[in-house]
Amino acid sequence: MQGTSGYSYAKEQVIKYLSEMEDKKYFPLLLDEAKKEEPNQARDYVLAAAQLGGENAMPYVVSFGE
């Protein structure tokens, strides 16, 4: 998702789609993309990663709030 900084409806839909696929291979990708965004822009990535990772995502999700 290189070069897609900031909000866009298309980006929001892609993030949502990846999380709904329930394919855990996208978990690291979503976390990496979240780290590239400003904290207020990373929300969708973090929520999608949390949905994919479940309990295993908590250490990563909590770290974004720090």
Please state the pTM of the whole predicted model: 0.73
Task: Please give the Cα distance from 38 to 2 (Å, whole number).
Answer: 14
pLDDT in tens, 3-40: 556 678 898 899 999 989 989 899 989 988 888 888 77
Amino acid at 30: L
Half-sphere exposure of residue 3, counting CA atoms within 13 Å on the CB side?
0
Q: Are 66 and 41 in contact (CB under 8 A)?
A: no
